[in-house]
Amino acid sequence: MAEGGRQLLSIEGVSYAYGSRKALQRVSLSLTEGRFLALLGANGAGKTTLFSLITGLLQPQGGTIRIAGQELGRQRARALASLGVVFQQPTLDLDLTVAQNLAYFAALRGLAPARAQRRTVEVLAQLDLTERRRDKVRALSGGQRRRLEIARALLHEPPLLLLDEATVGLDIPTRRVLVDHVHGLARERGIAVLWATHLADEVAAEDEVILLHHGQVLRHATAAALVAECAAAGLEQAFSTLTQPGKTAA
């Protein structure tokens, strides 16, 4: 597909296996600034394995990963510095306040105190959490905790944001608010977003979609194009059609 702007994520022919089980098979994708790319696949499709590779938790057994032009295998620290991540499992300290969680992360990232304080004010305002700054995280709702994790991921101003099943356990209205906010980050702030989900209703018609199935890329197209290809009523039906046994990559 046509691309413009600075390339922030390039994955070329990446493979990974857990013993004899192939989790990813020659997966390739790219992402440029200001784009929202949905990584859509059922549980077990390989989404979390791919995120583990991008974040350096696992090492590719084939292929290359570049983040903001830096090859992850050779320039790990510089590559990961351009990355913000919200993992599927929550990682906040429930007994610290909202501000303390952000301060701890800022220290780990090596942010100067003045910058850390400025960015804390900014991200809490952006995520509508300013009034909860002094509250312990365990007092927040599930949606507020997810917003805090997004705020934390954005604290060091990364150009690339990864979210792995970020709405798990949230109700539908809260999911919609989070999805809309992250779309806004791409559209208004030029952040490149890779959004992994198994929920088709989190993907807008104009969003680009990587359809991942059994560790392989079946399709890379807009959601609207996938719906049209299958003459489906919506993306969920198109997803079901394209992942039927016997379907192959386009």
Give the CATH number for residue 61: 3.40.50.300
Residues 107 and 59 in one domain: no
Residues 164 and 246 in one domain: yes
Q: For residue 240, tell me if it sits in a domain.
A: yes
Residues 50 and 142 in one domain: no
Residues 149 and 190 in one domain: no
pLDDT confidence bin for 1, thresholds 50/70/90: very low
Q: For residue 87, tell me if it sits in a domain.
A: no
Sign of CA dihedral 45, 48, 49, 55: positive
Domain that holds residue 71: 1-82+159-250
8 A C-beta contact, residue 220 and residue 213: no
Q: CA angle, 166 as apex, 79 and 191 as ends, to 5°? A: 45
Residues 233 and 151 in one domain: no
In this prediction, residue 193 carries a pLDDT of 97
Domain boundary among 157, 185, 209: 157
For 140, the token pair is: 């927040």
Q: For residue 236, tell me if it sits in a domain.
A: yes
pLDDT confidence bin for 207, thresholds 50/70/90: very high
Q: Token match 């198109």: residue?
A: 238
Residues 135 and 148 in one domain: yes
In this prediction, residue 2 carries a pLDDT of 40
Residues 30 and 114 in one domain: no
Mean pLDDT of the chain: 93
* Tens digit of each residue's pLDDT (9 = 90 or more) over 122-141: 999 999 999 999 999 999 99
Residues 187 and 125 in one domain: no
* Tens digit of each residue's pLDDT (9 = 90 or more) over 133-180: 999 999 999 999 999 999 999 999 999 999 999 998 889 999 999 999
Closest CA to 73 of 64, 82, 81: 64
Q: Note the pTM of the prediction, 2 decimals.
A: 0.91
Task: Say how many domains are in the chain.
Answer: 2
- Distance, in Å, from the CA atom of 192 to the CA atom of 205, rounded to the nearest integer, reads 18
Residues 166 and 113 in one domain: no
Q: How far is CA 197 from the centre of its chain?
A: 9
Residues 163 and 145 in one domain: no
Domain boundary among 133, 157, 181: 157
Residues 131 and 174 in one domain: no
Residues 140 and 28 in one domain: no
With a cut of 70, say whether residue 3 has pLDDT above it.
no
